[in-house]
Amino acid sequence: MPKRLLAALLALCGVAALAAQHPPFEDSMAQRTLACTACHGQQGRAGPDGFYPRIAGKPAGYLYNQLLNFRDGRRRYGLMAGLLAPLSDAYLQEIAQHFAALDLPYPPPSRPQVPATVLERGRLLVTQGDAAARVPACVRCHGERLTGVQPNTPGLLGVSHDYLSAQLGAWRTGQRHAHAPDCMASIAQRLTPEDLQAAAYWLSSQTLPADPHPVAALPQPAPEACGSAILPAGSPR
């Protein structure tokens, strides 16, 4: 066989092998958001290190608000800010709706190695609050089952202790902000560091209920007003 023909055949084989390794591009939101799932885990199930939270199945309004917060500087993380900087409000909402629609199972929680008294303090804060410190119970805003409330309030279960602790700490120290009125910053600043950790430990140790989806509405008004972004014109509510 002539050398030139052999070289051409080898080149064709190389192209075929490359095509088999890399499937053709499909113009879908799942493929466009591969930059998201590179950190947040396959289909947004959560990253393996505990610091990249689950985004699959979170309320669309919550995800949209967080994308805006990263892009506009209310939350500070250079990688997210750079990734989102060129994207419009409408496109950020499309991303939020994509991940919100993913209905995926949650992994079992891990049992933290902390004293029972710490977990009990966390349980009391989450379910009853602390009236003396003016800290409302988490269930008053995040739902009795702590799975979130449509359209803007996230669930608190199925999230790692490290992530919960980091975000509560960021609100407490002013590193994280939301649209005014910034209710979570106000509440987190009333928590002591010890109570913050206790709540995070208890929440991260809880098994999700049989129905892990966000509820449609709270049974009574939330104890504090919380700000939210205005949706792009023509968006479904």
Number of structural domains (the chain) is 1
Q: What percent of the chain has pLDDT over 70?
A: 87
162: which 2 tokens?
A: 């490290």
Among the residues of the chain, which ranges form H helices? 3-21, 29-32, 34-40, 60-72, 78-84, 89-100, 116-127, 139-142, 161-173, 183-188, 193-204
Give a yes or no: residue 90 inside a domain: yes
CATH number of the domain to which 147 belongs: 1.10.760.10
Contacts of 44 (CB under 8 A, 6+ apart): 33, 36, 37, 54, 55, 56, 99, 102, 104
Give a yes or no: residue 174 inside a domain: yes
Q: What is the pLDDT of residues 167-180, one digit of tens each?
A: 999 999 999 999 99
Give a yes or no: residue 69 inside a domain: yes
Separation between Cα atoms, residue 146 and residue 22, nearest integer Å: 40
pLDDT of residue 50: 84
Tokens 């700490």 belong to which residue? Answer: 169
Q: What is the pLDDT of residues 169-210, one digit of tens each?
A: 999 999 999 999 999 999 999 999 999 999 999 999 999 999
Range of the domain at 116: 35-204
Give a yes or no: residue 96 inside a domain: yes
